[in-house]
Each structure stands twice: as structure tokens, then as C-alpha cells.
Amino acid sequence: MATITNRVEDWAPPTESPGKVPQVTAGKSGGKDIKGDFPLDQIVIDQLPPGTQVHSCNRHRASTWTVTAKIETTLADGEPKFFFLKCAEDDQGKAMLEGEFHSMTELYKAAPDFVPKPHDWGKLNVSSPDTYFFLCDFIEMTSQNPDPIQLCTKLVQLHQAIPKILGPLEADGRIVKPCLIHGDLWDGNIGTDFETGEIYIFDASVYYAHNEMEIAMWRGTFNKVVTSKVYLNTYLARMGISEPAEQFDDRNRLYSCYMTLHESTCHNGSSFREQCYENMTYLINKYAPFPRGESGLPEDTEKDG
């Protein structure tokens, strides 16, 4: 298949967060100062369970669009507890974090053993720029690849929580019942609990869709782990393939175009648009080929597919 010329470098996740720590007046917990390099707004402190004593708040890991922190606390019953805080600026930040809170809340309702418990979102006491937060449980993750059996078993359970290209999917009396999907399930949004070995997913952008939409993201070359066929095959062995099964790979290509187009708008200069272009060209040549010379594409591209 022909490819777009002048291929650019593949995008990779950041090692440091580009965001800056919100310039808030640090709150107090139980009348005491809170240690750490991330000043914690009193608004956030007040959203923690009643009686919680906050000890510290420090920057934690990296995020492409936000700045993140780990909050160390002791609950009212004496149990040590950590929380995860994410902050972002302006209207874009508000949309992201409000959306993430509602997304994670819906996932938690359906699969509480598969996502960290979300607590709240809102606006910080920062006047310029407007800054927003998302608060959830903190889970210490390992660096190991997720176990494919556990990941796919949990994912199937999530997709079956709502009763289980698109014309053929509903031909011959078949119907497609949408299920709740994570919506952004790439390598970076899957982790394994360091203490229990349980797999969790996070940073969700949920919507209701054909379950195969979820795993279309695994086709993207930006994945280094879930792109392995063991994850796809394990999921399909548990969930099954929608009929017509022989068109599964073509549906997977089509669904992946949505993902790669979205990613290309977020990461300018990446190869995502090229991946989408190649998949769409393949599908057009297979299902709706143009008469020779009428596609508007270069001659060598018309011969591909």
C-alpha cells in the first residue's frame, strides 16, 4: 500500500508533565501545614472523606495535558490512604476534567474493581488562569505489562454490563446493542496494582458503542503492549466476534480510523493521520473502488490495496 510521503517521527508519551503547579494558597488540614512541592487548595482538602488528615502533596509522574499529584493522608479510622489529583487550565481543562469525572463515575458504577474510585471535580481558587481539578483514589502501579487474561476478562465483564460495518452487523435479524466503553484504552491508561496484582484502567472518555470499538485502539502503532495479538485474541475468545465474523478485521480498521483521527488532532506532527489514511484507502479500494483515474489519488496509490 502506498504511504504518505515525508513520514514524521512517531509520537511518544512525555516523561515530564508540561503543566505547571497551580498557584493557589496552600490550605491546612486539622490546622496543620501540608508538606510537599504541590500546594493543595482548601477546596480539594474539603472534598476528602470527613476526618481525613492530609500529610503531604507532591507532583507525581507525567501527563500530556495536565499536572498531577499524589496526596498522602490518614483517614478518620486511622487507615493510611493516598489520593490522586489532576489539574488543568482554562475551558479545555474544564471540559477534560469534568468529562473524565463523569466517565470514571460511570465506569466505577459498572466495574468498581476495574477503575480507581472517583471522588470529585471542580474549580480551584485560582483567578488567572481558571484552573480545574479531578480527584480519585491513588493506586500504585507496577511497570509490568498487564496480564492479558485478567485485563480481557474484566473488559468483557464491563462490556457485558450493558446488554450485548456496519450494515451487515444488523442484517438477517441481528441487532447491535451498545455497551459502555472506556473510549481511550491504550497502553498508558492501563496499570497493575503493585500490592494486589489487580488491573485497573483510568483516564477514561466513555461513551456507548459497539464493543469492538474499544479494542480498535489496540491497532494503533503508538501502543507497545496491547498491540500484541495475545490481548486481542484473549478478548475475542471471551467476548466472541460479532457477525459477520469474516468482516471483523475490516470493522477494526474502520473503528481505528476514529481513534487515529482524534489522536492526530491532539498530537500534531505524529504518524496517526498516516495510519488513518492507509486504512481508509484500503477499505475504499475493497468496498467502493473508484473507476480508474477518477479517485483524485496518485496512480500508484490507486493500484494498491
* pLDDT tier for residue 6 given thresholds of 50, 70 and 90: very low
129 preceded by cis ω (within 30°)? yes
Write the pLDDT tens digit of every residue in 153-212.
998 888 885 433 567 887 888 888 889 999 999 898 999 999 999 999 999 989 999 999
CA distances (Å), 9 to each of 227, 247, 258, 267, in order?
19, 32, 21, 11
Distance CA 93, CA 47 (A): 19
The neighbour count for residue 81, using CB atoms within 10 Å, is: 16
Predicted model pTM: 0.67
The answer to whether the beta carbons of residues 182 and 206 sit under 8 Å apart is yes
The structural domains of the chain, ordered by start, are: 28-137 (3.30.200), 148-303 (3.90.1200.10)
Write the pLDDT tens digit of every residue in 31-84.
899 999 999 999 999 999 999 999 999 998 877 778 999 999 999 999 999 999
The answer to whether the beta carbons of residues 142 and 150 sit under 8 Å apart is no
Q: Which residue has the higher pLDDT, 301 or 156?
A: 156
